[in-house]
Amino acid sequence: MPDFIDITDLHMRTIIGINPDERVNKQDVYVNVTLETDCRPAAASDDINDAVNYRDLCKDIIDLVEGSSFLLVERLAEEIAKICLADERVQWVRVKVDKPGALRFAQSVGVTIERCRDDFHAQWSS
């Protein structure tokens, strides 16, 4: 059975969107990530070197998001998935990016994508 690591409601500010004001003013985004990995080696050894280091992963995601200026939330989610799958221990990832206030009568608009290691091996070898 697979194991999962969840990172919930990682709050950042970035340039995201297609409207002129969105290209100038940073907006809030919330990122949720679920990673499929095998936690048994880390559980057995109690050694961070045998685990997906989610602290380092969060730093990489924050650096990407806060330093980016993508037009589409879809692109941002895809780039986050690539960061997660860069760790060979991650077999599958679900990334959800929410953009609060994007629609007048909605609390938030979000995009959720799922990617697996095979998706990226095919993409990288093309």
For the sheet with 108-116, list strands across it.
3-14, 27-37, 92-100, 108-116
Our answer to whether residue 99 is catalytic in this structure is yes
Q: What is the pLDDT of residue 121?
A: 59
Q: What is the pLDDT of residue 36?
A: 98
Question: What is the sign, positive or negative, of the torsion defined by CA atoms of 42, 43, 47, 53?
Answer: positive
Global pTM value:
0.92
Q: What is the pLDDT of residue 120?
A: 65
Q: What is the pLDDT of residue 123?
A: 61
Catalytic hit among 26, 59, 82, 99: 99
Helical spans, DSSP H, in 1-85: 40-45, 54-67, 73-85
- Domain housing 117: 3-125
The stretches in the chain having pLDDT less than 70 are 120-126
How much is the CA Rg of the chain, to the nearest whole Å?
16
Residue 97: in which H helix or E strand, if any?
A: strand 92-100
How many domains does one find in the chain?
Answer: 1
47: domain CATH number is 3.30.1130.10
Encoding tokens for residue 66?
A: 């806060």
Between CA 33 and CA 93 the distance in angstroms is 7
